[in-house]
Structure 1
Amino acid sequence: MGVAYSVGEVDHLYIFFVQWSPEIYYNKHDDGKNVMMVEPDTHVSVIDTLLSNPASKPWNIVTVKQQKSRLRSVCRSLDSQDLLPVLLNHSHVLKEHHLDKLVGHMPARTREYHWKLMYSTAEHGTSLKTLYRNMTDVDRPVLLVVKDMDNQVFGAFSSDPFKVSSCCYGTGETFLYSFSPDFQIFRWSGKNSYFIRGFLDSLQMGAGGGHFGLWLDADLHHGSSYSCNTFCNRPLSIHQDFIIQDVEVWTFI
């Protein structure tokens, strides 16, 4: 069955085919220059030839809607890959989907930096003192990652490295987060400034209302998470009192 083309359609198709199959239109002359093999007034016959012999090129016909959807998907994929941070060390807890969710909520001053592992129970043993000691020379924010015995992952972003202190420290950049069961972050509520406090026998994040948002013991074996005024969070784990499987602390360099 024949197909009717307007003059404008023929011109547009011709330009497309010149770009798609230049070997049909041009050939190398002895002096190296491209010489046109098809005269402009033969547009229609050439187009008909190409359409009647599609085997010369692999064609994949898609709608405009399908193509736009594919482009959006590719862009999202590239954006996600570009955003994922580079981990300088292996993580026993963090997977790609954790990083993908977390990185978009990190303060701008931490982005485009590599992540360096400063403490890991898998590598340094289960000791809060060791965690503090490994923070001695750190002068930038840190990310606390906890995995409990129910394989729930949660933790906190701290504006300051963890240390033993006589009072609370930190800024409103600090937040709690949880992947249990779905990803959620809990930012500063503004109700108080009990962001972080370090003791030799415990690490506390968030307070008010009689509970801590996140609390870890000296042996990094037991922990708890309750709703607190600092972050107005829900418990980060499915159990308010939990047994710790892994702890990691990352910084940004």
Structure 2
Amino acid sequence: MQGQDTPVLMVIKDSDGPGRPQRLSSVFGALASEPFKISDGFYGTGETFLFSFNPEFQVYKWTGDNMFFMKGDMDSLAFGGGSGEFGLWLDGDLYHGRSHSCKTFGNPMLSKKEDFYVQDIEIWAFE
């Protein structure tokens, strides 16, 4: 993401992991108002939101309760927060994830299970 200076769209398709019977995957993600970067604290604006396609397209916009839009370091990338939970969290390898309801976006859990594996991920920058 180095050198990017535009909003970013991230779409994830999850799975139960290797060697497990596949269930119906969930598709969800985030639109970030700023490109992903390493940060000590949260950054971004209220234009950031989470979304899901479970089973219909749903958008979870900023509630105004806090400003925990996104945070990134070498170990993880997180969106939303409050009460110690992230709306969407990915590990540094972008292979394992977790989703919870969060105060920032008022979203439900985006994946079918709290912990998930990333089957597919696409990240798009806008010009």
The answer, yes or no, to whether TM exceeds 0.5 is yes
Specify which structure has the higher proportion of strand. Answer: 2
| Structure 2 residue matching 1:219: 3-state secondary structure | coil
Query: Aligned letter for 2:14?
Result: D
TM-score, normalization: structure 1?
0.46
Give the corresponding residue for 2:2: 136
| Structure 2 residue matching 1:155: 3-state secondary structure | strand
User: Is 1:228 aligned to 2:94, yes or no?
Assistant: no
Unaligned ranges ≥5, structure 2: 16-23
Query: Identity over the aligned pairs, expressed in percent?
Result: 55
After superposition, where does 1:168-183 map in structure 2 within 5 Å? 168-183=42-57
Provide the aligned length of Structure 1 versus Structure 2: 119
User: Is 1:167 aligned to 2:33, yes or no?
Assistant: no
Give the corresponding residue for 1:185: 59
Give the corresponding residue for 1:131: none
Unaligned ranges ≥5, structure 1: 1-134
Tell me how far apart the structure 2 counterparts of residues 232 and 249 of structure 1 sit (CA, whole Å): 23
Specify which structure has the higher proportion of helix. Answer: 1
Q: Indicate which of 11, 24, 45 corresponds to 1:145.
A: 11
User: Is 1:210 aligned to 2:76, yes or no?
Assistant: no
Question: For the aligned residues, what is the CA RMSD?
Answer: 0.9
Q: Which has the higher contact order (CA 8 A, sep 6+)?
A: 2
After superposition, where does 1:90-101 map in structure 2 within 5 Å? none
Give the corresponding residue for 2:19: none
Residue 246 of structure 1, CA deviation: 1.1
**The structure with more radius of gyration:** 1
Residue 151 of structure 1, CA deviation: 2.4
Query: Aligned letter for 1:168?
Result: F
